[in-house]
Structure 1
Amino acid sequence: MSKEPAPVPFILAAAGLTDVGRKRTENQDRILMHDIVYAVADGMGGHEAGEVASQLAVETMQEICVFANKTSVRKLPTVPDVQRQVQLADDRIREALESRGGTTLCALVQIKTPGKSRDSVTAPLAAVPPWTSSFAMTQNTDVISKITPQMLEHHRANLAPATEPITVVTEEIPSLLLVNVGDSRGYRLRDGALQQLTRDHSAVQEMVDAGQITELEARNHPHRNLITRALGAGAESQPDVTVLHPRIGDRYMLCSDGLSGELTEDILQTLLVNYKDRADAARVLTGAALEAGGRDNIAVIVIDVLATPSVETDAPEN
């Protein structure tokens, strides 16, 4: 087993785009790009409701940046800080829209490194959700509204405890926290290989986990847009969180399903590898999703992990 490299100081640089797509008349996707928080939110709901939900989500997450920069020494958030902010976003959306709309959220946040943390993809469910068996193949079921708190409590009680490896970190170097609710996704390109770091909270993903359909069938399933978890809607809004220890040269991508639903992972990997410039990569990815059909709004952020410039490099010449 290869030893995990020691963490080193880094900076993040990003470029992102949103596009209404070819089929929609309004864009309910929103993005946030800051040196501490990067986020994609994909709104859902009736006229204006989805737009309001996604806008409230990114505005609430942006407050993390304001808090961090209030003092002369930047104070990065902790994992609980970020979790509380996501809960605040959920509360604000529910209050504003009275459950008439909601949004997905996928965010990458610089955080204060915890003493112990994990760098791993969220594991598949250890128990099949009880609501999965009720998914109809012939009608558009409102999944979120049928998931009650009692069902959630019973399901969580049946989940096996995680047995993932622990990485002990002693250096005061920031880590990254990946947060996701819904089916917007986070990916990492490392050493030329692309890995999906998030797991969709969707009807089709749970059907895949239950062995009812294959990954290929899920891409074109009539219920592929039905999500089982969202901010501002339904009984479940708890985010998945994963602490990541970045390496120089890593490239992260956050996107809504308007991108990942149109392009296969092979295509995503090829474009992220071939287009070194972040802005070019975001533009080409968006263009490829439009060319593939553009059936939904599209949002994408490409984030590169770069080495911190040395003092000698920054010092003015005499």
Structure 2
Amino acid sequence: MWKENITHISEFTLLGFPTSPWLQVLLFLLFLITYLLFVLLENLVIILTVWVTGSLHKPMYYFLGTMSFLETWYMSVTVPKMLAGFLLCPNTISFLGCMTQLYFFISLACTECVLLAAMAYDCYVAVCWPLRYPVMVTTGFCVQLTTSSWVSGFTISTAKVYFISQVTSCGNNILNHFFCDVSPILKLACMDFSMAEMVDFVLAIVILVFLLSATALSYAFIVSTTLHIPSATGQRKAFCTCASHLSVVVIFYTAVIFIYVRPRAITSFNYNKLISVIYAVFTPMLNPIIYCLRNKKVKDAIKKTTAGGRSLFLRDFLC
């Protein structure tokens, strides 16, 4: 009998954050301002600063500019549809649109994991092999690492999204989320989706085991080298070199591990959505601020870049 109820869903309804109308408008304005000022403007300023400032044409800042570019697209995949959900009822998305959103979201998340590992290696060489840094981390090598991060991220997500798109539903098309994510889609399945779940879980573990392990190993060597530096000034300088990146890694992986280590039917979806807001909205928003606050060179370059009619506003707001 259950086979008769199997349907091919043409569109999903995103439940989002159901609250009172006035609170919906307030949340819309809050996230819209966050998106425009803390994401688009912030990252655009950093990208332009790295681009036009000759002293920042180095591997570390090349990675920073690439990360800002990635974060802009990362949030642009989910935030516009989330904003629409505050004003539209119902907030629908086609099946193709849902799978497309899921594909780009997973691709960019995987790309960020690889890029964070590459940046950890950059920090490792800068602290542990400072004299060999110009030889070991060249511009060409940075381009190769960045290209590999994008290619691997978009390749891995292809397999994940393919198997998830094969999941069939029994008529329920309501996603208890503000964007198309793995767990709420799998929760609608009424047939055996063990293959989709296994592929998603295995690929997530591969990413976490290899990339997180590589990142952790890099910082283990960094800590060991820092502790052997005789002067306190040298230790502080070595720590400051990597402190901002380490902060981003901790925030990003903490949220990702909580969500994706158990992708099936996570029961507390309301709590899960709040965690999703952290890694899908607030973490990308905080990353440029963290890098800006921890790096004097970037702060000084931003002040020079934004000199002019709006310089006072941008200096106070961004740094």
Q: TM-score under structure 1 normalisation?
A: 0.29
Higher strand proportion (structure 1 or 2): 1
Determine which structure has more spread, i.e. the larger CA radius of gyration: 2
Which protein is richer in helix relative to its size?
2
